[in-house]
Amino acid sequence: MKFILILFAFLAFSSFAQDKISWTGEFDAKNNKAILTANLAEGWHLYSQNLEESAGPVATRFELAPNDLIQIGSTMREPLPIRAYDANFEANVQYFEKKVNFEQQLTATASTQAIYTVTYMVCNLEMCLPPVDEEVKIMITK
């Protein structure tokens, strides 16, 4: 019974997190890059991929599902994040607000689908939601 309550709480927080952030993905065929975009609700932020482990929040991570038709040409890139003190963690952290694009060079040998699992955590000035794994699918047309 305790497991069911914990599972229910986790699912409730997961769906609550999805109200605070939405992910979309597209493929820029001209420049051969996948673009994953996070749109955040007002007052919420998403952490950078490049956090010190001791800072506390979970860094955003991207994992591309294995696909023999896709070759990765670069690591996932992100724009310059906001660097500020976060009272939730009592540490200086790097994060994004409102909208952020992450980009990765990809080469595909045929039309296929790139499937990313994004692990992320969102916070506002008062609270943080538990980390979430979310799939973002991107069609690549050749």
Return the structure tokens found at 37: 């975009």
**Is the pTM here over 0.95, yes or no?**
no
CATH of domain 2-140: 2.60.40.1250
| Whether residue 7 has pLDDT greater than 50 | no
pLDDT digits (tens, 9 = 90+) for 108-125: 999 999 999 999 999 998
Q: What is the DSSP string of 109-122?
A: SSSEEEEEEEEE-E
Domain positions in the chain are 2-140
CA 79 to chain centre: 13
Q: What b-and-e string marks burial along 103-126, b requiring 16 or more CB atoms within 10 Å of the CB?
A: bbbbebeeebebbbebebbbbeee
Share of the chain above pLDDT 70, in %: 87
Return the structure tokens found at 17: 């997190």
